[in-house]
A and B are shown apart, each in its own frame.
Chain A
Amino acid sequence: EDQVTQSPEALRLQEGESSSLNCSYTVSGLRGLFWYRQDPGKGPEFLFTLYSAGEEKEKERLKATLTKKESFLHITAPKPEDSATYLCAVQPFSGGYNKLIFGAGTRLAVHP
Chain B
Amino acid sequence: SQTIHQWPATLVQPVGSPLSLECTVEGTSNPNLYWYRQAAGRGLQLLFYSVGIGQISSEVPQNLSASRPQDRQFILSSKKLLLSDSGFYLCAWSGTRGPQHFGDGTRLSIL
Enumerate chain A interface residues (CB-CB to B < 8 A).
4, 9, 31-32, 34, 36, 41-46, 49, 87, 97-100, 102-105
Contacts and interface: CB of A to CB of B under 8 A. Distances in A.
A42 B90 CA distance: 9
A103 B51 CA distance: 24
Interface residues of B, number: 25
Interface stretch (B13-21, B62-70, B71-79, B97-105): B97-105
B109 interface: no
A9 B104 CA distance: 23
Nearest to A48: B99
Nearest to A31: B97
Contact of A102 (B32, B43, B95, B97): B43
Which residue of A43, A99, A102 has the most chain B CB atoms within 10 A of its CB atom? A43
B61 interface: no
5 contacts: A34-B100, A41-B105, A97-B32, A98-B95, A102-B43
